[in-house]
């Protein structure tokens, strides 16, 4: 096997790449192995060709008989067992089966005019392809994209798709990082999904897991133990070796994967899972390299990289020139936890450090993280870092996500844990606040289906996974009682997975909740004062009530009142943020209690006799010109008549 010098530069350092002149070039990193050969399966079958050894542990060469759709595996030394390609672009039979040659240039893209997403102004929608529709495929999901575009969503965040064993799963135990799972369709089905999204004005980012690999079907160790390290304790298995001996090719493998999704699937960015479990003491952190590769791979298109980071390290989203990692956004668990307590009053487990008061919610809107270095009792240590100078758009706020819904008994969604009024009011706060809002699939129409933890594993693993799930959920007081584990559905049961599939008919049946979300998103995107994302200030009006004020051009301000407690009836409120611009009075422009959303209606909160701010409600006000009556006088006392 000889590599032709006339061939163009490889797209990836490893993997199978179709040659312009015919055949396929294979390359793999297997330091410590003496011999590597590629074995073709299917048609032509039984072809085994030795590969050429290169420096630094690489083996490569071209096979003329191979072509797109050819199935193949590698033989390492004299092993009787054959192994899939670590950089396989598709595993049609799953992680334990053969790899398949894929030509990434065969798909005819239609999105040449797409320029990618800006870091500001996004409304994110998290989705799991396997449960987003009854069919659980890319094709079925693509058919519903117009409805998401109509809702006003601007970015889809797809939960992990790197292939994993079994019939279903969340995707966080992926083992074939370059192979979109066969469970949702072929690679070009994924490309078509992204293409359709772009044509509708929707960006698409992919959730990727670079902190561990799954326990079943992970063959990287057969190629080299250097992929992993025991120098760091990882919550989910062996840590990835980003800074030890032979880490160079490992780093390139993961960095290349980040660029691969942008290049070959036209994705607009990534969501990086649990970055606190990505360990790297190198001079340049691997996350910096990942961010750079994403931008390079986009070739001028705008990109978006958001990360999950439980310790809340603001350095991740600070600019490179300021010593940060240069990523675009970070999930804000603090906002979720406080909002969840505000909605339910429940403070068990990791909610114990939150009170759900108006002050907490207001601080999250104004400052991002609530914990910025002070003590966090649940973990018995300090948590978070200062956010000063960071734009609001750098924080992704949410009321629900895959983890937080699944961490409730029965996978119940927030609208089932609180009353409708509070749910609508908190939705208003989420979608109008200056941070980047994220919805979880089905949230926009109060889906009745749960979202549970499901993972199809071989029996010996399934037993351990279920035991681990029960142990994790016992941190919540309600699940500590004897026999409470019966309330936790078996992750390995197909019925658990099937129960989570959304019912598209509910989009119509729950039309009032869809209207609530659609109207709020349109206000966020189209109201000139709110969309400008200009200065926002706020005030606490009571333990459960707050006010947010946007200062608009020409004093075209907006005032949002959110009351999660009892009615507020007061003759006066000594808070200057409630004062309308000179010569105006406040006029309601939107109310969560509008009957169109299932509410009971609400009178204007400001009257000449004082304030009436309804319970469990939110109202958005704008100024309107007001001509003073003949009896009005400065100082508030009526002018004498005589």
**Ordered DSSP codes for 537-595:** EEEEEETTEEEEEE--GGG--EEEEEE-SS-EEES----GGGSPPTTEEEEEEEETT-G
Catalytic residue among 243, 268, 273, 289: 273
CATH, residue 612 = 2.60.40
- Shared domain check, 605 and 495: no
- Mean pLDDT on 345-370: 96
Question: What number is the average pLDDT over the span 437-451?
Answer: 98
From 521, 547, 567, the end of a domain falls on: 521
In this prediction, residue 477 carries a pLDDT of 81
Query: Average pLDDT, stretch 442-465?
Result: 96
Q: pLDDT at residue 483 above 80?
A: no
Same domain, 498 and 541: no
Model confidence at 630: pLDDT above 70: no
**What are 8-57's pLDDT values in tens digits?**
579 999 999 999 989 999 999 999 899 999 999 986 667 899 999 999 99
Q: Taking residues 216-234, what's their average pLDDT?
A: 97
Q: Are residues 55 and 91 in the same domain?
A: yes
Q: What DSSP string runs through 174-234? A: --EEEEE-GGG--HHHHHHHHHHHHHTT-EEEEEE--S---SSS--HHHH-GGGEESSS--
Tokens (6 digits) for 373? 């270095």
Residue 632: inside a domain: no
- Nearest CA to 562 out of 398, 404, 385, 360 is that of 360
Please confirm, yes or no, whether 333 is among the known catalytic residues: no
* pLDDT tens sequence across 311-336: 999 999 999 999 999 999 999 999 99
Q: DSSP letter string over 82-132?
A: EE--TT-S--TT-TTS-EE---TTSS----TT-----SSS--EEEE-HHHH
Instruction: Report yes or no on 579 lying in a domain.
Output: yes
* Residue 386 and residue 434 in one domain: yes
Would residue 241 count as lying in a domain?
no
Looking at the domain assignment, is residue 119 inside a domain?
no
Q: Kindly state whether residue 109 falls inside one of the protein's structural domains.
A: no
Q: Active-site residue among 25, 157, 280, 308?
A: 308
The domain tally of the chain equals 3
Q: What is the CATH number of the domain that holds 438?
A: 3.20.20.80
Q: Express each pLDDT in 413-427 by its tens digit.
A: 999 999 999 999 999
Cβ 269 vs Cβ 328: under 8 Å: yes
Mean pLDDT of 87-101: 98
> pLDDT band at residue 232, thresholds of 50, 70 and 90?
very high
| Residue 629 pLDDT | 60
For residue 633, name the pLDDT band (cuts at 50, 70, 90): very low
Q: Could you tell me the residue range of the domain that residue 57 belongs to?
A: 15-100
Do 428 and 361 reside in the same domain of the chain? yes
Please report the pLDDT score of residue 479 as a whole number.
76
359: in domain: yes
Question: Is residue 273 among the annotated active site residues?
Answer: yes
User: What rounded mean pLDDT belongs to the chain?
Assistant: 94
User: Are residue 81 and residue 129 in the same domain, yes or no?
Assistant: no
Rounded-to-integer distance, Cα 561 and Cα 539, Å:
10
- pLDDT tens for 134-145 read 999 999 999 999
């Amino acid at each position: 096997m000889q590599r032709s010098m006339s061939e163009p530069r490889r797209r990836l350092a490893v993997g199978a790449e179709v040659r312009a002149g015919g055949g396929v070039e294979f390359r793999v990193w297997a330091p410590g192995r003496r011999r590597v050969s590629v074995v073709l399966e299917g048609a032509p079958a039984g072809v085994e060709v030795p590969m050429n050894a290169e420096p630094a542990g690489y083996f490569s060469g071209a096979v003329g008989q191979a072509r797109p759709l050819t199935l193949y595996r590698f033989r390492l030394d004299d092993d009787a067992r054959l192994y899939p390609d670590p950089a396989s672009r598709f595993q049609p039979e799953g992680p334990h089966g053969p790899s398949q040659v894929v030509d990434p240039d065969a798909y005819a893209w239609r999105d040449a005019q797409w320029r990618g997403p800006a870091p500001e102004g996004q409304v994110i929608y998290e989705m799991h392809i396997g449960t987003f529709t009854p069919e659980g495929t890319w094709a079925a999901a693509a058919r519903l994209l117009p409805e998401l575009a109509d809702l006003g969503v601007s970015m889809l965040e797809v939960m992990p798709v790197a292939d994993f064993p079994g019939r279903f799963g969340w995707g966080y135990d992926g083992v074939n990082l370059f192979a979109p799972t066969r469970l949702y369709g072929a690679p070009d089905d994924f490309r078509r999904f992204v293409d359709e999204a772009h044509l509708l004005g929707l960006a698409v980012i992919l959730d990727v897991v670079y902190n561990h690999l799954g326990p079943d079907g992970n063959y990287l160790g057969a190629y080299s133990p250097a992929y992993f390290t025991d120098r760091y304790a990882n919550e989910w298995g062996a840590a990835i070796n980003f800074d030890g001996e032979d880490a160079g090719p490992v780093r390139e493998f993961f960095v290349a994967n980040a660029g691969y999704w942008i290049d070959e699937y036209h994705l607009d960015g990534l969501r990086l899972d649990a970055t606190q479990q990505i360990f790297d003491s190198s001079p340049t952190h691997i996350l910096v390299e990942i961010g750079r590769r994403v931008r390079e791979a986009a070739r001028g298109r705008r990109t978006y990289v958001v990360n999950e980071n439980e310790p809340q390290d603001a350095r991740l989203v600070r600019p490179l020139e300021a010593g940060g990692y240069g990523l675009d956004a970070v999930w804000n668990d603090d906002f979720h936890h406080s909002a969840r307590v505000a909605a339910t009053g429940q403070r068990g487990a990791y909610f114990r450090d939150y009170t759900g008061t108006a002050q907490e919610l207001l601080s999250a809107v104004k400052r991002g993280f609530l914990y910025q270095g002070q003590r966090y009792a649940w973990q018995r240590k300090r948590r978070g870092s200062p956010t000063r100078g960071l734009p609001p758009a750098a924080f992704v706020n949410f009321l629900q996500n895959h983890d937080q819904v699944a961490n409730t008994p029965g996978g119940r969604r927030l609208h089932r844990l609180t009353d409708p009024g509070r749910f609508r009011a908190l939705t208003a706060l989420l979608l109008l606040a200056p941070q980047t809002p994220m919805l979880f699939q089905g949230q926009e129409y109060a889906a009745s289906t749960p979202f549970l933890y499901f993972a199809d594993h071989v029996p010996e693993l399934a037993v351990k996974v279920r035991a681990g799930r029960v142990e994790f959920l016992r941190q919540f007081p309600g699940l500590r009682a004897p026999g409470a584990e019966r309330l936790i559905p078996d992750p390995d049961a197909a019925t658990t997975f099937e129960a989570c599939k959304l019912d598209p008919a509910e989009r119509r049946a729950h039309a009032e909740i869809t209207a609530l979300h659609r109207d709020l998103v349109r206000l966020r995107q189209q109201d000139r004062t709110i969309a400008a994302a200009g200065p926002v200030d706020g005030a606490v009006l009571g333990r459960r009530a707050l006010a947010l004020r946007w200062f608009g051009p020409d004093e075209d301000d907006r005032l949002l009142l959110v009351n999660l407690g009892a009615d507020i009836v007061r003759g006066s409120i000594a808070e200057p943020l409630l004062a309308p611009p000179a010569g105006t009075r406040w006029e309601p422009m939107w109310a969560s209690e509008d009957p169109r959303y299932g509410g009971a209606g609400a009178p204007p909160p400001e009257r000449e006799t004082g304030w009436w701010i309804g319970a469990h409600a939110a109202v958005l006000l704008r100024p309107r010109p007001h001509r003073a009556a003949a009896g009005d006088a400065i100082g508030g006392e009526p002018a004498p008549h005589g």
